[in-house]
Amino acid sequence: MLDKNAKIYVAGHRGLVGSAIWNNLLKRGYTNLVGRTHRELDLTDQLAVRRFFDEERPDAVVLAAAFVGGIMANSLYRADFIMQNMMMQCNVIGEAYKHGVQRLLFLGSTCIYPKNAPQPMKEDCLLTSPLEYTNEEYAIAKIAGLKMCESYNLQYGTNYIAVMPTNLYGPNDNFHLENSHVMPAMMRKIYLAKLIHDGDWTAIRCDMDKRPVQYKNGDAKLTVDGSASEQEILDALAFYGIYDNKVVLWGTGTPLREFLWSEDMADASVHVLLNVNFSDIIGIEKYSSVHYGTSASGAVDRNNSEGRGGAIPSLGEIRNCHINVGTGKELTIRELSQLVVKAVGFEGEVEFDASKPDGTPRKLIDVTKLHSLGWTHSVEIEDGVKKLFDWYQDSLKS
């Protein structure tokens, strides 16, 4: 358990999960928190990250920052997804170790698992067969991140724990029509289609001013906000399948997905950060002293190289030490769209374009390990969709 005065750096503290983790820590009495916006600290800049750690010297780190997006973004920006995420992870995890950080929480994604993994997906199915092609680069980056945490623990006796959340949604979600995940993108599309049908151009312009829409028109990439003409706005929204009382969504609507409220994810993350050690996950008590030996003072002797990399015959192979975080429940994308339609009060048509990719057919995770470590979710999807739409409407007023 960290002391209440411990300095905790939350990377990505304004994002969907990072902001929720920040608030969860505050509620638990951890007030010595450090955050930097992307403008203040570019995590892909190794020297800038090193200077930050030199100055702040955090006791613990939460790595919730990432370059993220949905199927369209993953397809368009494959190099960005692997390079930016790898650079951020290498810089933060590497500098955390160099500066003596003993507790670190790394947030990944369940897209790390093979496309055709047995369902529900246990942690042990990692790297057992090919990944889903549409998000392969992001998945590889996140696999590298969790392996970095695992390897630092094995070599240096740190407590760097990786958690793999299922699909997340909640306050501060990204509603960008190109780069957001399935639920917020779907919700905004359905909401805008309703506003077009209602002729509520005041609300449409408010939405577009808050979150301008970018789209391609021939070779040109245009940005449209609330100051554009009605026809320009309609053209931009039509690019994303948004029409008068009609929405076209990608795929068949048949893939099954699991969703977790971001504040539940934050609570699980903080629970793990504060209460879970690497030895708890691998089931070996006093792992550091077994692995490295101890000095005369009883401290872990990091200069003892015997068995580094986990190659201690008596312990066997140690891998898949990450933790799945989710609900263990699922629904189809079509069923999700029906929940969103109900929350928005949409009376129009939702159409699925089967010519577009579905992504992985099913992504349900096994949360047995998480439950054994003392945590379960509290917000069910039916209530969560309503909560998200309420938050989205409130965000347009600020």
C-alpha–C-alpha distance, residues 95 and 164, integer Å:
22
C-alpha–C-alpha distance, residues 85 and 144, integer Å:
10
Q: Which residues are catalytic?
A: 138
**Would you tell me how many other CB atoms lie within 10 Å of the CB of residue 378?**
11
